[in-house]
Amino acid sequence: MTLKIYGIAASRALRALWAAEELGLPYEHIRYHFNGPETRERAYLALNPNGTVPVIDDEGLVVFESLAITLHLAQSRAQGGLWAQTPAGVAQIYQWTLWAATEAETLARQWFQHTSFLPPEKRLPALAEEALDRLQGRLRVLDQALQGRDYLVEDRFTVADLNVAAVLQRFEVMAREDFPAALAWHRRCLARPAAQRAFALRQAG
């Protein structure tokens, strides 16, 4: 059986696609739109009762939530190099992944919604500014963690870097201050061939 990844690349499914590309996994990309009627059909809701994307079917194991998916793929294919080699490294992978979800993504999403995603008449510039202001403190934490190192965990690219970089994919636009270590790290992550292949899938829909 082949790994199935549901969700267009212009969604959080990008994270699963990037992980699969990093790991060299064969997969079937099922391009369901996050607002499409297919996500409300019974067959899809049996996979993801939330009616959101992404969800994967990994040889019968169904997983939703994008960051859970990337963690699963990295851990279950540890030989692919995205998982940590030590208990401390594993703890740091969870730490940075949960940091991305709880500290960074809510603010990044609020900013994006009220600058680009929502129809112009529904955007509230004050909410975008508030989110961006608060996000600078989170970016400062990231920059400090990357001082003198290339990656977040075990000094090599892991799923922690993938998750944080994907959540902060618009880092260069969102950064109001000078965060040289984090900026160099972000560019390093997105320049990876697997990242380039995953982001290119956005052009395919």
> What rounded mean pLDDT belongs to the chain?
96
- pLDDT, residue 203, reads 78
For residues 179-191, average pLDDT: 98
pLDDT in tens, 102-154: 999 999 999 999 999 999 999 999 999 999 999 999 999 999 999 999 999 99
In order, the DSSP letters of 140-202 are HHHHHHTTT-SSSBTTB--HHHHHHHHHTTTHHHH--S--HHHHHHHHHHHTSHHHHHHHHGG
CA separation for the pair 187, 130 (Å, rounded): 26
CA distances from 92 to 12, 100, 127 (A): 22, 12, 31
- For residue 24, the 8-state DSSP code is T
Of 12-16, 155-159, 201-205, which range is least confident?
Answer: 201-205
- Radius of gyration (C-alpha) of the chain in whole angstroms: 17
- For residue 4, the 8-state DSSP code is E
Quickly state the pLDDT bin for 1 (edges 50, 70, 90): low
CA separation for the pair 117, 65 (Å, rounded): 20
β-partners of residue 30 are 6
**Residues contacting 198, CB < 8 A, separation 6+:** 9, 14, 17, 18, 21
For residues 2-21, average pLDDT: 97
Percent of the chain predicted with pLDDT > 90? 97
